[in-house]
Every structure is written in structure tokens, then in C-alpha cells.
A and B are shown apart, each in its own frame.
Chain A
């Protein structure tokens, strides 16, 4: 009988246990917290519902015998694997309530892909403001994770009434065609299921992927049939011109160019043509079977296991009251396989934890903030003040920089759990080199070629939001998720109001003038900070890629880790890893 095992078994098979069951008191006290989180989830769900219902009612598409983007995704993606991203993204506050594309990570026939499709209910998949940026985030994701990009194209081209917001510019809706070329050059395949009429921008959307397959009624073309020529160039439309246009439009009977008769029968651009919408998706499924993907066994260090503690207890552990502290280890214990964690330098830089865990049996690094008070720390303060969790101090920054560098060497993807109020400030902090150490961590991240996932559990504040691999780390950050408890701002509104108006208050007070108008402005500013840091706002503006319930966090981590190990372009043999040995000593 052959004998088999997972690699480096003494390090990975059984790692240190973390976490403990919630006490009766914790359970009793958490009821209000659960309710409050539930209220926030309802607000987010209502916004998501608006996006799903954007444009034509689904019934109208069904009545025409068609499928909506949501029907197509449901048919295409393996059950239980869809992890949507950018659902609420709408940075230009479009009337449509969305950017007209639906995207995320999902498995098709057992393989991870980045999947994106035009919402055919919204102006037949027109280019609308913010869409170009949304698509670029998606192409970046495929590039970072080195996994196929699957397009469900159904694109009517530019929304002509708003062309200035989509057509021109470095990151406009034309930029994705170059990204598609870049992905192809990198060996990342793009599969394209083409539906409906796709003129001009839609045509390039159709032609730019790697493999094209079409519905029998689809077309792709340089320009559409709807552009009626022969306008008298007067610079404006008068009654005579309008009448001529009416006559021309009435007699306009030609079919849309670039139909299947052309691009299957003549040019042979389309690999397949299907009579049914499902047939096209079946074609995509068949091609997904051909996509490069290692079996996870290649990289597993143990058998997959669920955490020992229920994930829904996260709603009891993390207080929605941002001033309340919690035990970050208890959070980690509800995310990692078998609630195990191999911690790197636990006694050094105690305000952050760094270490290795397993997700579905695959090795993953975790970095996050601890909460609470750390007496007799940081050393450089010499007792002048204690360290407070959520902040970063000298040792913690050094530890994170070291750890990230070692992860880079070992090809360990990193999940960051942010709940940070910033980096320590003041003369002592400057003398302790915190400014340079913060940037040093940025350098360490950029110097690796690792995919990272950022979770803004609660607060993402000041430069600490950047240095903990926020979305600004564009080359490494695959995606960032927020939670119903997330707040992202440069500083708390009260701090900002004090910083902005303190001198003015002094001036008015010394002049004997009424300070109440200034006080009103300060409170207005605090409210504005509050309104513009909420989870829905963060998602709409792209501060995060999705808002995810705490109970869904592990699912997103599984998607990230699974996709990361599907087809990595760099491998560290498990038995040659240095980090587990460094931890063990």
C-alpha cells in the first residue's frame, strides 16, 4: 500500500488552538448588538434590492423569452460559490442606481473565475458613468488572482445622452479593451458569452476577449444600424431637418450588422453559436473545464475543516459601538479551519497579530489589529501613555513589515483584518520613526508579488487604512470587503471638526462674538463625516468592493484563497517554506 501525507505535517496538520466558547454573560449581553447589526443589514439589503430591480422589470425580459443577467449568472455559476463584488458601486450617483454591470467571484464547473456581465435590464447594457472604473477593478482582480475572466456581454454601447461621462479619458469605458489585451498577453483567458445587439463599444466588448461564443440573435459590430446618415449639417435641428429624419427613420429597415451570419459563417470569430441563451452558457461551462487549474491537493497542508466555533457568533463578539473593545482572537477563531492559528512573534508588537492559518486546508497568512489597552507599551513612551489597540506603534509596524516580507518569500496570500484608528502621533512617535516605518510597511507589501484581501471589520482610519493593505495597494489588494460595522474616514468627525475649527473658535471667543454659528458648523461637519463613512456610502463610492455580513466573511476568504491557489504564477514548495520554521524557532 502506498503511503501519502500532506507536506510539512508537523507544522501544519495541527496548529495551536485559539478561541473559546462564549460565556453565558457574553451571550446575554450581545442581544442588543445582534439586533443593531441586523438593522444595518436591512439597510444594506434594501439598497442591494434596488440595484437588482434597476431598469426594466425582470418579467418584461422573461415575457420576451429572454434571461436577465441574474438568470444567466444563476445558470452559469456553481451553487453556493457566487461572491458578488461592487454590487452597490455607483460613484457618479447615476439615475439608474448602478453602473450597469454585475460582477464577482464564482466557480464554474469547479474552477474559480472572475465573472462580469452587463445588466441587460438597464438600457440594454449601455455604458453609463462609473462602469469603466468598475470593469477596470474586475480586470485587475483577474490579473491579480491569475484566473479566467468570464464576460456575459450584452452591451448597447454609449448612453449617448451622457457620452462625456463614459467615452473619453484614461480610465473610461474604452480602457477595458486594452486591459483585455493585457490579460491575454499575461496568459489569462477571457471567455465571452455574447447576447443581443452590441454595436461600437459593445462590438469591441464582444471582440476583445479570447474565446467568443454567441446566441443566435446576437451581433457585434464596429457601429450600429441605428445611426441614420444624411443629416443636413446646419449645426442644429430645425423642423425641416426633423421631418427629413422622420422619413429616413421610417424607411430604415436594414438589419443590425455583425450578425451570426457574418461572424460565424463568414469571419468565424464565434467559436460556437447557440439557439438558446442557456446553450451559450453551457458553451462557457465546457470551456471552463479547459482552463488551467491545479487540484487544491497540490497546495493543501491539511484536510479542510470548519472552524470549531459558529461563525454567527461574530455578531455577538464585535460590538457595533465603535468605542467598545473585543478579543480579536475570538474573531479569528470563527474564521480559520479548525480554529487554529500559528502566531508569529506574539510577544512583540502586541497591538497587532500576525501568523499562519488554514482555509479549506490551504495555508494563509492573517494580520490584524488587537483591541484594548496595552500597559507598559510602547517602550518608547516610557510610561508617558499606554498603547491602545487599533493603533500602530513601532514594534507592531516592524513586525508587520518582517512578516509580509517572509510571506512574500513563502508565497502565502495575506488576509488583513483592519480595525484601526491610526498610527501613534506626537514627538515621541516621530522619534520612534513611525512615519518611516509606516511607509516601510507599504514598501514591504509592494515588494511582494502576493495577492492580499482586506477586510475592514470596523474602522479604517488615517494612514493605517492604507498601510494595512487597503484598496490603495492596487498591485496586491485583490479586493476589500467591509461589514455592516464598517466606518472609513481620515479621522473621526469630532476630531476633524476640532482640527478645522479650534482656532476659529478661539478667535471668535476672544473677539466676544457669538460662537454658536461655529458650533453649528462643527456639528454639521460631524454629521457629514458620519453620513459619508457608513457602509452603503463606502460601497457606493468604491471605498470597499462589497459590504459583507460578518457571517459571510469566511465564504469570501474561501473564494479569495481558493482563487489564489488555482493557478499561481509563482510557487514556494511547502517543505521549503521558512516562515513556519521561523515561528517554531
Chain B
């Protein structure tokens, strides 16, 4: 079953900590989204494997946009 990791708010992707194929654990930091002068870490909602990264560093994203897919 796949899980979408989405942006909680609009902003710019500041850092991506994972690569495709990487195994991650619940609450691991996947991405840092910069918005309103703050770094907003986005955590893994569950254990899983990164199957897709839909953004790159510097990408501007909107609220609820899918950033990463976990399986």
C-alpha cells in the first residue's frame, strides 16, 4: 500500500534527506519545507520505502501537493 507525503502549507523545498529506494522509519525527517521564514520538517507518517520523490530542492510547492510516495 502506498502513502503520499504532502505539503502542509505552501513554500519552498529547502532540503531532501532521502533518496528513492531508501527505507525510512516512522517520524524520520524526510524533507524540510521553508515557509514564512521557518524550516518546517516533514516527517514519515509510517515505516516504509521511498518509491518516488516528486520534488527537488528549490521547488515551490502548494498546500497538499504530494512530495514523496512511500510504500
Contacts and interface: CB of A to CB of B under 8 A. Distances in A.
B27 A323 contact: no
Contacts of B9: 373
A23 B44 CA distance: 13
A324 B39 contact: yes
Interface in B23-55: 25-29, 34-41, 43
Contacts, number: 34
Contacts of A324: 38-39, 41
A24 B39 CA distance: 21
Contacts of B43: 25
A455 to B, nearest CB: 21
Contacts of A251: none
Interface residues of B, number: 15
Interface in A303-344: 321, 323-325
A325 B27 contact: no
A192 to B, nearest CB: 52
A240 B41 CA distance: 79
Contact of B27 (A24, A373, A388): A24
B30 to A, nearest CB: 11
B26 A24 contact: yes
Nearest to B29: A29
Contacts of A24: 26-27
Nearest to A385: B36
A26 B27 contact: yes
A24 B26 CA distance: 9
A388 B9 CA distance: 13
A386 interface: yes
B36 A386 contact: yes
A575 interface: no
Nearest to B8: A373
Interface string A11-42: 00000000000011110110000000000000
Contact of A323 (B26, B28, B37): B37
Contacts of B26: 24-25
Interface string A29-60: 10000000000000000000000000000000
Contact of B28 (A25, A321, A373, A386): A25
Contacts of A26: 27
A28 B27 contact: yes
Contacts of B35: 373
A323 B39 CA distance: 5
Given A25-B43, A373-B9, A323 B38 contact: yes
A23 B38 contact: no
A491 B33 CA distance: 23
Contacts of A388: 36-38
A279 to B, nearest CB: 59
B26 to A, nearest CB: 6
A29 B41 CA distance: 11
Contacts of B37: 323, 388
A325 B36 CA distance: 12
Contacts of B29: 29
A28 B44 CA distance: 13
A522 B46 CA distance: 44
B25 to A, nearest CB: 7
A425 to B, nearest CB: 13
B32 to A, nearest CB: 9
Contacts of A325: 38, 40
Contacts of A28: 25, 27-28
B36 A29 contact: no
Contacts of A372: 38
B39 A29 contact: no
18 contacts: A23-B27, A24-B26, A24-B27, A25-B27, A28-B27, A29-B27, A29-B29, A323-B34, A323-B37, A323-B38, A323-B39, A324-B38, A324-B39, A324-B41, A325-B38, A373-B36, A373-B38, A388-B38
Which 10 interchain pairs have the tightest Cβ spacing? A25-B27, A323-B39, A388-B36, A324-B39, A323-B38, A29-B29, A23-B27, A325-B38, A25-B26, A373-B36
Given A29-B29, A388-B38, 15 more contacts: A24-B26, A24-B27, A25-B43, A28-B25, A28-B27, A29-B27, A323-B34, A323-B38, A324-B38, A324-B41, A372-B38, A373-B35, A373-B36, A373-B38, A386-B36
